[in-house]
A and B are shown apart, each in its own frame.
Chain A
Amino acid sequence: MMRAVFIGLFALVLGSSALAAPEKLTNPQQEARAVALQKQLRCLVCQGESLDESGAPLAADLRRLIRERITAGDSDSAVKAYLVARYGDFILMKPPVERETYLLWFAPLVFLAAGGAVVWIVASRARRRFGAESQGNDHVLERTVDRT
Chain B
Amino acid sequence: MTGEIGLLALCLALALAIVQSFAGLAGARGSGGNAAAIAQGAAMGLLVFVSLAFGALIYAFVVSNFSILDVAQNSHTAKPLLYKLTGAWGNHEGSMVLWVFVLSLYSAFIAFAQRGGARLTSAALGVQGLLAAAFLLFILLTSNPFVRLDPPPFEGAGLNPLLQDPGLAFHPPLLYFGYVGLSAAFAYAAAGLITGEADASWARAARPFMLAAWIALTLGITGGSWWAYYTLGWGGFWFWDPVENASLMPWLIATALLHSALATERTGAFRTWSVLLAIMGFSLSLVGTFLVRSGVLTSVHAFANDPERGFFILLMLIVAIGGALALFAWRAPKLESGTAFHPVSREMLLLLNNLLLTAAAATVFVGTLYPLALDAWLGKKISVGAPYFAITFAPIFAVLLFLVPFGPRLGWRRGDLHSAVRVLMPAMGVAVVAGIAVLAIARPASAAGDGAFALATWLIASSIIDALRRNRERSFGWSAAASTLAHAGLGISLIGIAAVLCWKSEASDVLAPGKSLTVGGYELRLRGVEDTQGPNYFAKRGNIDVLRNGRVIETVSPEKRTYPAEGQAISKTAIQTTGISDLYVALGDERGHGSWVVRVYVNPLAPLIWLGGIVMALGGCASLFGRLRLWVTKPFAYAAAE
Contacts and interface: CB of A to CB of B under 8 A. Distances in A.
B227 interface: no
A79 B174 CA distance: 43
A28 interface: no
Contact of B378 (A18, A100, A144): A100
A33 interface: no
Given A19-B591, A89-B382, A104-B384, A53 B571 contact: no
Given A47-B297, A55-B234, A107-B362, A94 B385 contact: yes
Interface stretch (B282-290, B340-348, B525-533, B574-582): B340-348
Contacts of A147: 475, 477
B239 A93 contact: no
Given A48-B240, A100-B380, 16 more contacts: A21-B510, A22-B509, A42-B383, A47-B242, A48-B239, A52-B234, A92-B382, A101-B370, A104-B366, A104-B370, A130-B341, A133-B340, A134-B340, A144-B413, A145-B411, A148-B479
Contacts of A105: 392
B15 interface: no
Contacts of A48: 239-242, 244, 385
Given A93-B383, A100-B374, A104-B367, A148 B477 contact: yes
A83 interface: no
B387 interface: yes
A125 to B, nearest CB: 8
Interface of B: 232-234, 236, 239-244, 266, 269, 297-298, 338-343, 347-348, 351-352, 355, 358-359, 362-363, 366-367, 370, 374, 378, 380-388, 391-393, 396, 411-415, 473, 475, 477, 479-480, 508-510, 571, 589, 591-592, 597, 626, 630
Contacts of A22: 508-510, 597
B414 A126 contact: no
A130 B340 CA distance: 4
19 contacts: A18-B591, A48-B240, A53-B239, A93-B388, A95-B384, A104-B370, A107-B363, A108-B396, A111-B363, A112-B355, A125-B338, A141-B413, A145-B473, A146-B266, A146-B479, A146-B480, A147-B477, A148-B477, A148-B630
Given A107-B363, A116-B355, A126-B340, A92 B383 contact: yes
A133 B239 CA distance: 50
A53 B370 contact: no
Which are the 9 A-B pairs with shortest beta-carbon distances? A93-B385, A48-B241, A144-B411, A129-B340, A94-B387, A53-B234, A130-B340, A90-B381, A111-B359
How extensive is the interface on chain A, given as a class?
35 or more
A50 interface: yes
B233 A55 contact: yes
Given A126-B340, A146-B479, A140 B414 contact: yes
B383 A95 contact: yes
A75 interface: no
A140 B380 contact: no
A56 to B, nearest CB: 11
Contacts of A126: 269, 339-342, 347
A54 interface: yes
A66 interface: no
Contact of A90 (B239, B367, B382): B382
B103 to A, nearest CB: 28
A3 interface: no
Interface in A108-134: 108, 111-112, 115-116, 118-119, 122-123, 125-127, 129-130, 132-134
B475 A130 contact: no
A47 B480 CA distance: 41
A20 B236 CA distance: 27
A9 interface: no
Contact of B358 (A18, A53, A115): A115
A91 interface: yes
A125 B352 CA distance: 15
A103 interface: yes
A88 interface: yes
Contacts of A47: 241-243, 297-298
Contacts of B269: 126
A123 B35 CA distance: 42
Contact of A127 (B244, B342, B358, B367): B342
Given A53-B232, A123-B351, A107 B412 contact: no
Given A111-B363, A129-B340, A122 B351 contact: yes
Contacts of B355: 112, 115-116, 118-119
A144 B444 CA distance: 47
Nearest to B358: A115
A13 to B, nearest CB: 16
B570 to A, nearest CB: 9
Contact of A130 (B342, B388, B393, B477): B342
Contacts of B510: 21-22
A44 B413 CA distance: 53
Contacts of A146: 266, 412, 475, 479-480
A103 B576 CA distance: 44
Contact of A89 (B266, B381, B396): B381
Contacts of A108: 359, 362-363, 366, 392-393, 396
Nearest to A112: B359
Contact of B509 (A24, A112, A116, A145): A24
B413 A140 contact: yes
Contacts of A88: 381
B366 A107 contact: yes
A115 B396 CA distance: 13
Contact of B387 (A93, A118, A130): A93
Contacts of A104: 366-367, 370, 384, 388
A116 B384 CA distance: 26
Nearest to A24: B509
B208 to A, nearest CB: 14
Contacts of B347: 126
Contact of B571 (A24, A55, A90): A55
B414 A144 contact: yes
Nearest to B473: A145
A133 to B, nearest CB: 5
A129 B338 contact: yes
Contact of B413 (A18, A52, A130, A148): A130
A24 to B, nearest CB: 7
Contacts of B233: 55
Contacts of A18: 591-592
A40 B411 contact: no
A49 interface: yes
Contacts of A134: 340, 414
A45 B346 CA distance: 48
B242 A94 contact: no
A142 B152 CA distance: 74
A43 to B, nearest CB: 10
Contacts of A93: 383, 385-388
A130 B414 contact: yes
